[in-house]
Structure 1
């Protein structure tokens, strides 16, 4: 007697392999999720590889965002922003439990993303460092006649000029030049693309970091030059208030005998006064001191030590 062959039953472990996948629909769902969470319009390539896309809030061709999408077994993917650290995971069938294999596959893809990003970042930083060194070696010592230095009324301390740009070198705690801040004739500032900034600084008033003694940490280079002129102590310019804490931690880790004093900008016209707030956080985490300039008057617009010095000079 012939056996009757019935239709195989779908099990929990093979539900994705038996499900008919509408590829176009899955890709569109993923694109919708990316747009919903990150505001980015993408036409996803579902090959399981990492693809870079632009952050709509960044500069043109920034390629700060990424995504990956695979259709094997349970269609799943991930996407995020390397600059902000934001990251999302996505699955086509959110209401159904994914198998351990699906989870492992996505985790492996995310690990590849992190490793690839790390490798890309290291390569890009190395290229920026080489460019910074080449620019620095090609430049000439700056003079006080550069419009930015003249406007700020500060001497040309450890800065150079190249094609109208004022070059401010950024170092890490080993003393290696890793980036350049370029300041044009109108005072506009640009770092080299992909160059290191976090934990790095410009150094004013010393050829190298001291092993001990007092070291001030300021935000901008002109402020650092002003403080150095007033105190005769070396000053590290963190370049922005968000970098004050990373610089303080890096300096303390490399030179624990330094007495660190954070010289804050007094952003008294900005809610929350981020200059003093960030400086205080940096000082507290390394057990250092914090100072900031006092307002010149009730209608004072000065925010940093350079502003105050120039304001007082003008009113003498």
Structure 2
């Protein structure tokens, strides 16, 4: 059974006899639709059982293929990180833009080198290191944010690539659910603090940690907050966890996750004066939404 990639994050598996298949969307969690060419025909019970058995076998094979690919991509991610330079040594434009200090566990590599490595690894289905903000391939130094899974968050699962202007791209075909960036001290067994935060993005995580002094993990998106919070609670049992949400689209999700995980939640609130101050400092026409914006607006960053 050969998979065919339809769009980013989507794969179609066609049955060996060509009479049906399964559509998968990894962003939404797996199989989304199963179809058969003769689904509109009246089938006997035995024919229906045969189709269900076939679908079960294909789903099992697809899951096995997915797990194998996750392992291959994780090894590729580790090889990229092994050849990258620490952001502490060289800095990065995105961190300067967000007014946060580089920390251990963040890496930098030139976009051209990353793309060359992409070309070699994804040779059957080429991928472009795309800058979602600039609307073009990434250029210049790229910030690499390792995303971890497993006990002690010791295993690299994926990488989030961030351009100097803030465009983001996540390593394709990697395991995403529950994978998050975790501060090095937490991963390497430092004494546990009284509280740990989990935010959507890296800039928010670094901002809160820099201003408030406690470690904060980054889930990468509000859609991954729940899985990341679960993983953090399991790993750091007994430590107070705080979900740090963004104002607007991410607020409802943050509160939902906090209620589910029975943790505290914090979402920034901006006065008119703070919104005006944020725009004045950054030159942005966008409204402030997260704790990085809040600390910039209040002069703490």
TM over 0.5: yes
Structure 1, unaligned runs of 5 or more = 1-49, 268-273
Separation (CA, whole Å) in 2 of partners of 1:69 and 1:131: 30
Separation (CA, whole Å) in 2 of partners of 1:213 and 1:54: 45
TM-score between the two structures when normalised by the length of structure 2 = 0.75
Report what 1:295 is aligned to.
270
Report what 2:168 is aligned to.
189
Which residue among 17, 38, 45 is the counterpart of 1:92? 38
Q: Structure 2 vs 1, CA of residues 302 and 154 (structure 1 numbering), >3 Å: closer, same or farther?
A: same
Separation (CA, whole Å) in 2 of partners of 1:311 and 1:86: 43
Q: CA deviation at 1:241?
A: 0.3
Report what 1:118 is aligned to.
63
The structure, 1 or 2, with the larger RCO (C-alpha pairs under 8 Å, 6+ apart) is 2
**Is 1:53 matched up with 2:4?**
yes
Structure 2, unaligned runs of 5 or more = 111-140, 276-286
Which residue among 224, 232, 236 is the counterpart of 1:255? 236
Q: Structure 2 vs 1, CA of residues 121 and 212 (structure 1 numbering), >3 Å: closer, same or farther?
A: farther
**Is 1:65 matched up with 2:6?**
no
Q: CA deviation at 1:127?
A: 1.1
Partner-residue secondary structure (3-state), 2:208? helix
**Is 1:77 matched up with 2:20?**
yes
2:4, 2:11 within 8 Å by CA — same for their partners in 1?
A: yes
**Is 1:264 matched up with 2:210?**
no
**Is 1:170 matched up with 2:147?**
yes
Runs of 4+, deviation exceeding 4 Å: 209-212
1:134-283 counterparts in 2 under 5 A?
Answer: 134-143=79-88, 145-157=91-103, 158-163=105-110, 164-174=141-151, 175=153, 176-204=155-183, 206-208=185-187, 213-267=194-248, 274-283=249-258
Question: Larger Cα Rg: Structure 1 or Structure 2?
Answer: 1
- CA-to-aligned-CA distance 1:39-85 (integer Å, 9 cap, x gap): xxxxxxxxxxx453343xx34xx6522333748xxxx6343234343
Partner-residue secondary structure (3-state), 1:86? strand
Partner-residue secondary structure (3-state), 1:202? coil
Give me the CA root mean square deviation.
Answer: 2.5
Q: CA deviation at 1:304?
A: 0.4
Separation (CA, whole Å) in 1 of partners of 2:39 and 2:242: 55
Q: CA deviation at 1:216?
A: 0.5
Q: Which is helix-richer, 1 or 2?
A: 2
1:54, 1:64 within 8 Å by CA — same for their partners in 2?
A: yes
TM-score between the two structures when normalised by the length of structure 1 = 0.72
Q: CA deviation at 1:298?
A: 7.4
1:205, 1:228 within 8 Å by CA — same for their partners in 2?
A: no
Partner-residue secondary structure (3-state), 2:298? helix
Report what 2:295 is aligned to.
309
